Every structure is written in structure tokens, then in C-alpha cells.
């Protein structure tokens, strides 16, 4: 596929209005052709107006039409997967084979949401039939369904250039809900973004949908993102990235004349607790597995296990030695961007400045943007006294927290901020401690894993990718999995409607054959 570098606003190809950029290959620290257009406030306005004009028609497409549209996107992504993985690898330094898997995952998500739409459960249909004879007051007929919230703005993520980017779960779930999408592409992988955007836009055209169903904009600095959040036609925002960036968007959205929801996925250290009998039985294998998961994507995964808490006792020496061995043997690999690399180096320095000791380092870096892995260690008392030790360092580093006893382990757990996930490794004899630890973790995370690690994560109905602040800005919702569609829905009740005027899904004969609650049953 030939890349033009244009902004894709509806059916329009928009050349640069605010300058251009080139993608950077982090493996060579060299720029890659071609130039990619940067836009500004005017292009955001154009995309938002098209999205608003398309919304009524698109949000009222039939379930069959919308599911077929999502499947066309999946087919287009499959057709482009080889070129997409190759370009994404150039722009990220990640292995091409890994990105082939990510492209397949993106297509799978669209097919999963097509199935969600086809079955109609997401509408959460409820009918309370009229009771004209009820005393002392008759009841009118009430019928409820969920509808799309409106045009939404989606910010592409940097660390997963396909499955959390233009064709990621945010876009899939928003389109499944019936929302139109204005997507801000991440500047770190503009070529991969264009390939994905063209796959979606082609599906819009082939489905005969209004052009404003999907647009992709790109800009430099914060102005274009701020314009998206500020635009009065945008009704919700999603963001994956740093706490600083996510909260800036969140606060801005609350200051609008019409505040809107901002669904952020921000920061997490995904703590792992090794309970005593599991430590004694499996310390070495747990330590090796933890370090192996920590190093995936050069540590640039939102579910990277970054902090391991274990009681100093039987098995601790083996756990520590296995972690040191895995980290020491790890090759330095390119990180995604110069900014991420610089923040990683700075974060490691800060951990040591506040009391952590580096006990292992990986193989030396050769490229300018290579991330050298690191293992740091601290005792429980120091961890409890220095809150900065619990902050995320985005990259191939982990912190081993050595606690004295069960009480100190529980105290450490209570100091943690909100997390995307937490893990416990345990044996049957550890259940008593696990039962005391569980409610502490439930208050601090959206997903708890036993005898495994938080990464990777299934995309399913039961999965949750979210948690209390600062993991996300609204712990009631997930940004991964089939229920992520709920972010883009709101309820509407229809009272006393004639059957012919009702939405098709709520008509008396249930012509769509979708599940409905009738009088609570």
C-alpha cells in the first residue's frame, strides 16, 4: 500500500495545513519516508461536523448492517496485515511477527464486536407493559434501550500500534455502539495509522455509510487534542497514556459548557504478591516468569508486572536469583520513542534516588534508544515510607519488595494506588492470607489474577481493563473486552409509544428476536 501521508477526514484526503512530520525508526534512530500531514483546529472542526452529520443515520443502522460493517473492517485488516505489521515494525522497533499477531487480534476484536451487535444484548432492552387497571394509579407502558452517546474522540496509544491504536478496541467498541469516530492518530507510528485508517474508511464506503462515520486527524503539540476535547459536537473521549496526559484531558472536558465523559487508561504497576507457601514451593519459577513477562514489549505494556512483593523466608533467595538471571541475560532493545526512552532512564534514576538499590542490569545498549533492563530491590519499611517507589517506570525494569511478614505485606498492599491488575501466587495453605489480602486488592484494582501474571489479557466478556484512579478515570468501565461498549451508550425510555413508532428492537412482536427483560423477567 502506498502511503500518502494525508489526513483522512471522511472521504476527503487532506494535505498538510500545519506542517509535516516523518516517522522515526527507533532501531536506527533514523527518519522514514514519507512526510505525514499535520492538521489543526480547522481539520478537527471538519471531522467533528461530518461525524455529527453522520451520527443519526449510522446510530440507527440495523444490527445486521452494523455487524456486517464491522466484519468488513476485520476483513480489510486481514488483507492489509502483512504491510501493516512491516510498517509498524519499522516505526516501533517491535518484532514484525509480534505485530502480525497484534493485527490478527485487532481484526478479531472487530469480529467479536460484530457478534455482540448481532445478538443485541448490549441494547439492554427492558419492557414494563402498561397496567391500565392498576390501583391507585394506572401504569403507562415503558420501554428502554441503550443508544449511542454521540460522536466520540479517540486518542490512539503509542505502545500497541495496532490493537490499541487506530483499529484498536476503542474504535471497535465505539463503532459497535453506533457512535461515529474522530480518531487522533499517534505521531509515533503515522504509517501504521494510515494503513489502519484506510481499512476502516474502505469499509465505510463499501457499506454505503455516511462518510463521517470515521475520520483520522493528526497534529503536533497539544492543540489538536485540546480542540477535539473542546469541540461541542464531541460527546465522549477515550485516551490511553500517561497520568499527566489523561488527567489534562479529563479536567479540560469537565470545564466545557457541556461536560463530557473522558475514559482514560493511564498508569499501573500491576503488583504481584507471592504468598509464603507458593514462594517456598515455586520461588524460582515464579521469579523467572515474572521477569519474562516484565520484559515483553521492552517493558512498554500497560499490564507489565512491575512490582513483586514477597516475604523474606524459604524460597526468597531462589526467587531473587531467578529474577536476576533473567534480567541479566536480557538483550537491550529499542524503545518506542525518544521521549519514552528518556523518561525510562529518568525513572530508573529516580527510583534509586528515593531508596531502591539496583541488583541486576541487562546486556548493554547498542542503539541510542535501546532500553537496558534493570531489577531493583527495596525493603518493605522503605517502600512504606516513600510513596514514589510505587510509581510506574514505563520500560524494562521491575522492583522487588522484600517484606518481613504477613502484616507488612498487607501494609504494602494498602498503600498502593488504583491498578489495572494485581496478581497473587498461592498454594492451598496460603488461603488464609489470600482471604485477608483479597478485599484489599478488590478496592484497588479491576482484575485479580491467581497463579499467573496479568499480561497477556484475554479480550472477552468477563475481562476488565480498568480500575480505581489513577489506573483509569472511571473504574465502572473497561477499555478492553466486550463490555467496553458500555462506555459509549446511554439509556432512553419510551413511554406510552404506539407500536409503530417504537424502535424496532422494542416493538411488541420482537421482530429482531433479541433478548429483552419484560416486567423484570
Summarised one tens digit per residue, pLDDT across range 361-370 is 999 999 999 9
Summarised one tens digit per residue, pLDDT across range 294-311 is 999 999 999 999 999 999
pLDDT value, residue 234:
98
Q: How much of the chain, in percent, has pLDDT values that exceed 90?
A: 98
Summarised one tens digit per residue, pLDDT across range 404-445 is 999 999 999 999 999 999 999 999 999 999 999 999 999 999
The catalytically annotated residue of 102, 302, 377, 408 is 302
Task: Decide: 170 and 153 in contact? Cβ < 8 Å.
Answer: no
The DSSP symbol for 333 reads E
pLDDT value, residue 221:
87
CA-to-CA distance for 67 and 377, rounded, in angstroms?
A: 50
**DSSP of 421-464:** -EEEE--GGGHHHHHHHHHHHHTTBS-EEESS-S-S---SSS--
Summarised one tens digit per residue, pLDDT across range 474-511 is 999 999 999 999 999 999 999 999 999 999 999 999 99
C-alpha cell of residue 362: 541487562
Neighbours of 115 (CB within 10 A): 13
Whether the predicted pLDDT of 1 surpasses 80? no
**132 burial via Cβ count (<10 Å: 0-12, 13-18, 19+):** exposed
pLDDT value, residue 233:
98
CA-to-CA distance for 394 and 241, rounded, in angstroms?
A: 11
- CA torsion, ordered 209, 484, 233, 257, to nearest 10 deg: 170
Contacts of 100 by beta carbon, 8 Å cutoff, 6+ apart: 81, 82, 85
Task: Decide: 373 and 396 in contact? Cβ < 8 Å.
Answer: yes
281 in catalytic set: no
Taken in order 190, 196, 202, 204, the sign of the CA dihedral is: negative
The whole-number average pLDDT for the span 398-406 is 98
406 in catalytic set: no
Name the band, by pLDDT with cuts 50, 70 and 90, for residue 455: confident
Summarised one tens digit per residue, pLDDT across range 157-196 is 988 899 889 999 999 999 999 999 999 999 999 999 999 9
Task: Decide: 122 and 176 in contact? Cβ < 8 Å.
Answer: yes
Summarised one tens digit per residue, pLDDT across range 40-56 is 999 999 999 999 999 99
CA-to-CA distance for 477 and 491, rounded, in angstroms?
A: 16
CA-to-CA distance for 317 and 388, rounded, in angstroms?
A: 26
Summarised one tens digit per residue, pLDDT across range 52-107 is 999 999 999 999 999 999 999 999 999 999 999 999 999 999 999 999 999 999 99
Structural element, H or E, at residue 49: helix 41-59
pLDDT value, residue 122:
97
pLDDT value, residue 167:
96
Can the peptide bond before residue 34 be classed as cis, meaning omega within 30 degrees of 0? yes
pLDDT value, residue 444:
97
The whole-number average pLDDT for the span 509-517 is 96
- For the chain, domains (ranges, CATH) are 8-266+473-506 (3.40.605.10), 272-450 (3.40.309.10)
The DSSP symbol for 343 reads H
CA-to-CA distance for 313 and 292, rounded, in angstroms?
A: 23
C-alpha cell of residue 275: 504468598
Radius of gyration from C-alpha coordinates of the chain: 25
Closest CA to 179 of 43, 51, 49: 51
The catalytically annotated residue of 91, 194, 265, 392 is 265
C-alpha cell of residue 442: 478488590
Summarised one tens digit per residue, pLDDT across range 240-284 is 999 999 999 999 999 999 999 999 999 999 999 999 999 999 999
Higher local confidence (pLDDT), 115 or 159: 115
Amino acid at each position: 500500500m502506498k502511503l500518502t501521508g494525508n489526513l483522512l477526514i471522511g472521504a476527503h484526503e487532506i494535505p498538510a495545513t500545519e506542517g509535516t512530520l516523518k516517522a522515526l525508526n527507533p532501531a536506527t534512530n533514523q527518519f522514514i519516508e514519507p512526510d505525514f500531514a499535520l492538521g489543526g483546529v480547522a481539520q478537527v472542526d471538519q471531522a467533528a461536523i461530518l461525524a455529527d452529520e453522520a451520527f443519526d443515520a449510522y446510530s440507527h443502522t440495523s444490527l445486521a448492517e452494523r455487524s456486517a460493517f464491522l466484519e468488513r473492517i476485520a476483513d480489510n485488516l486481514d488483507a492489509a496485515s502483512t504491510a501493516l505489521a512491516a510498517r509498524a515494525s519499522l516505526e516501533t522497533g517491535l518484532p514484525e511477527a509480534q505485530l502480525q499477531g497484534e493485527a490478527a487480534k485487532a481484526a478479531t476484536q472487530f469480529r467479536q464486536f460484530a457478534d455482540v451487535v448481532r445478538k443485541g444484548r448490549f441494547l439492554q432492552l427492558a419492557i414494563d407493559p402498561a397496567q391500565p387497571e392498576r390501583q391507585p394509579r394506572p401504569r403507562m407502558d415503558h420501554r428502554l434501550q441503550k443508544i449511542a452517546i454521540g460522536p466520540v474522540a479517540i486518542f490512539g496509544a503509542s505502545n500497541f500500534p495496532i490493537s490499541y491504536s487506530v483499529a484498536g478496541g476503542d474504535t471497535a467498541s465505539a463503532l459497535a455502539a453506533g457512535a461515529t469516530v474522530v480518531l487522533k492518530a499517534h505521531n509515533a507510528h503515522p504509517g501504521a495509522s494510515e494503513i489502519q485508517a484506510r481499512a476502516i474508511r474502505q469499509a465505510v464506503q463499501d457499506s454505503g455509510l455516511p462518510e463521517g462515520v470515521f475520520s483520522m486527524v493528526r497534529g503536533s503539540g497539544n492543540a489538536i487534542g485540546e480542540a477535539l476535547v473542546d469541540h461541542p459536537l464531541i460527546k465522549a473521549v477515550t485516551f490511553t497514556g500517561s497520568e499527566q496526559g489523561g488527567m489534562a484531558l479529563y479536567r479540560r472536558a469537565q470545564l466545557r459548557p457541556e461536560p463530557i465523559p473522558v475514559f482514560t487508561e493511564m498508569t499501573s504497576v500491576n503488583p504481584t504478591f507471592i504468598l509464603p507457601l507458593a514462594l517456598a514451593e515455586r520461588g524460582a519459577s515464579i521469579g523467572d516468569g515474572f521477569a519474562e513477562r516484565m520484559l515483553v514489549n521492552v517493558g512498554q505494556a500497560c499490564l507489565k508486572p512491575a512490582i513483586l512483593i514477597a516475604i523474606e523466608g524459604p524460597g526468597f533467595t531462589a526467587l531473587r536469583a531467578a529474577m536476576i538471571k533473567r534480567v541479566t541475560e536480557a538483550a537491550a532493545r529499542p524503545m518506542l520513542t525518544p521521549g519514552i526512552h528518556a523518561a525510562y532512564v529518568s525513572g530508573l534514576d529516580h527510583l534509586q534516588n528515593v531508596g531502591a538499590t539496583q541488583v541486576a542490569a541487562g546486556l548493554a545498549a547498542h542503539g541510542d534508544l535501546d532500553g537496558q533492563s534493570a531489577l531493583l530491590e527495596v525493603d518493605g519499611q522503605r517502600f512504606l515510607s516513600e510513596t514514589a517507589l510505587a510509581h510506574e517506570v514505563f520500560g524494562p525494569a521491575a522492583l522487588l519488595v522484600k517484606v518481613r511478614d504477613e502484616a507488612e505485606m498487607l501494609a504494602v498492599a494498602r498503600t498502593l494506588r488504583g491498578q489495572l491488575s494485581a496478581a497473587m501466587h498461592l498454594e492451598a495453605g496460603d488461603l488464609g492470607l489470600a482471604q485477608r489480602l483479597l478485599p484489599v486488592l478488590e478496592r484497588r484494582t479491576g482484575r485479580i489474577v491467581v497463579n499467573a501474571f496479568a499480561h497477556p489479557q484475554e479480550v472477552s466478556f468477563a475481562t476488565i481493563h480498568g480500575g480505581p484512579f489513577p489506573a483509569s478515570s472511571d473504574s465502572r468501565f473497561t477499555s478492553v473486552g466486550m463490555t467496553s461498549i458500555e462506555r459509549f451508550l446511554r439509556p432512553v425510555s419510551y413511554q406510552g409509544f404506539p407500536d409503530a413508532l417504537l424502535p424496532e428492537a422494542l416493538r411488541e412482536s420482537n421482530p429482531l428476536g433479541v433478548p429483552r427483560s419484560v416486567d423484570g423477567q
